[in-house]
Amino acid sequence: MRKIKNEELNRLSVEEFKNSDRLEALIVLDDVRSAMNVGSAFRTGDAFGIEKMYLCGITAQPPHREINKTALGAQDSVEWEHVEDIQTLVADLKKSGYKVAAIEQADESTSLLDFDPQPNEKYAFIFGNEVFGVKDELVEGADLVLEIPQFGTKHSLNISVSIGVVLWDFLTKKRLPKKRASI
């Protein structure tokens, strides 16, 4: 076994990526204070081929040195938009047919293990501030609240890790065939 060289990865150009089939998912970052986390979100969004990313409130925007450092160019391939008022954005996304999912620990959340995305539905995943999480009014107004099961003492993941976990789960459930247990 050997590692694959970068030249062998058949990477898409930015233009090819923008014209490729997309995962029916949006990332919404609300008041994310670390530009490095924003850069990681771009890189993860690129890896999973999301439609678009919304940067809301105080969330840093490209061009930004720390975003560039962690995004490694994904800030150029992933479509993004800054929106000051997240409440208006969420209302507009719902009108456009997106299911809005807040990623948060809440009393009536759905475990990611039990999340069953419907084949013909598009989803917008909201990730909140690193300290305070998703705002209460967004949790209350979301179509669903998803919680990543955790078993340690912290019950806290870095936002960039959470984005990767949620998008990987979504991709595998939407695009890969379900395995059926043999009887």
Task: Write down the domain spans for the chain.
Answer: 12-149+156-175
Q: How many CA atoms lie within 13 A of 176 on its CB side?
A: 8
Q: Per-residue DSSP letters for 105-116? A: --TTPEEGGG--
Q: CA nearest 103: which of 121, 83, 123, 80?
A: 123
What pLDDT, on a 0 to 100 scale, did the predictor assign at position 138?
97
pLDDT digits (tens, 9 = 90+) for 108-136: 999 999 999 998 899 999 999 999 999 99
C-beta of residue 80 within 8 angstroms of C-beta of residue 59: no
**Alpha-carbon distance 102 to 151, whole Å?**
20
Mean pLDDT of all residues belonging to the chain: 94
CB environment 57-77: b (16+ within 10 A), e (fewer):
bebbebeeeebbebbeebbbb
Helix or strand (DSSP H, E) at 83: strand 80-83
pLDDT for 177 = 55
Q: What is the pTM of this model?
A: 0.93
Is the pLDDT at 179 greater than 70, yes or no? no
Q: What pLDDT score does 6 carry?
A: 87
pLDDT tens by residue, 86-112? 999 999 999 999 999 999 999 999 999
Q: Work out the average pLDDT over 141-162.
A: 95
Query: Is a pLDDT exceeding 60 seen at residue 183?
Result: no
Of the listed ranges 16-20, 40-44, 79-83, 140-144, the least confidently predicted one is 16-20
The alpha carbon dihedral of 74, 79, 82, 87 has a sign of: negative
- What is the spatial order of strands in the sheet that 80-83 belongs to? 80-83, 50-56, 23-30, 122-127, 98-103, 144-147, 110-111
- pLDDT value at 180 more than 50: no
Q: In the CATH scheme, what is the code of domain 12-149+156-175? A: 3.40.1280.10
Residue 178 has pLDDT above 60, yes or no: no
